[in-house]
Structure 1
Amino acid sequence: MSINVVTHLNFRGEARAALTFYQSVFGGEMAVVTYKDAGNVQDPSQADQVMWGQVSADNGFQVMAYDVPGQMPWNQGENAFFVSVRGERAEEINAYWEKLTEGSTVVVPMGPAQWASRYGMLTDRFGVTWVLDVLGGDDAS
């Protein structure tokens, strides 16, 4: 069993620039899905902003980032990051999800996403926002 805990940074229109910078510092590959790519454009002026992005390097560096949509509140000092837990098996991630949901507010219910067979987001009882997902074809519930 293996999981990765990845810092997930939140920006307002600067996620791509930040990811490009981190890639220039740490190396690795950058992947970006825009709101337009995902078919989730709420505001045409934000279509090319980052809905999901990451930089992963062979040296172990990994960071994720996105642009908080304009219709959502954002304060860099209050919600500048998420804690992302990424696993290989749905059973493992579902178990963490169930434990974290005690006293939490579910932001996005656990389910399939464009980039993951399982994905969910919640804010725990301490105010920490967690993003949990399973990459690949493990589609067990």
Structure 2
Amino acid sequence: MLTLMNEEEKTILESLRFRDEDQSQKSGAILAFSGLMIATSTVQLSSSPESILYIHSHGLMLLINKIGIVVLFISSFISLIGMTLSSKYPNNKEEALRIFSKHVSRRANLVQYAIILSAIGSVSILVSFLYALFYM
């Protein structure tokens, strides 16, 4: 199919490929970071009352921490969807380029949602972590 394309179409395809790879890398990074934050929060939730990281089981910070975990799970799920998203391409090169462009845009939107949710979840966990360190 590349041999049937002119230089402009090849440039567009190359640009879309780089953008697609970039979205895959971002999705993987968000997934890894969310997993790290979930693990950090799990350690905090399972700490004993004598620990410096302990969160009182009836406090507001426990709720904030749990909300952060849920938001991070949603972010991870969206990242995973973005990584596994695929499309079927027809033999028509113009139609294939159009579909690939929409595919890359869809992945970029999912990555943006995952970044926002990951930031919200991380801030929630950070707030509960700092509260446990400085106010308990």
Q: By the TM > 0.5 criterion, same fold?
A: no
Larger CA Rg, structure 1 vs 2: 2
Question: Whose strand proportion is higher, 1 or 2?
Answer: 1
Question: Whose helix proportion is higher, 1 or 2?
Answer: 2
Select the structure with the greater relative contact order (CA < 8 A; seq sep ≥ 6).
2
Q: Give TM-score, length-normalised by structure 1.
A: 0.22
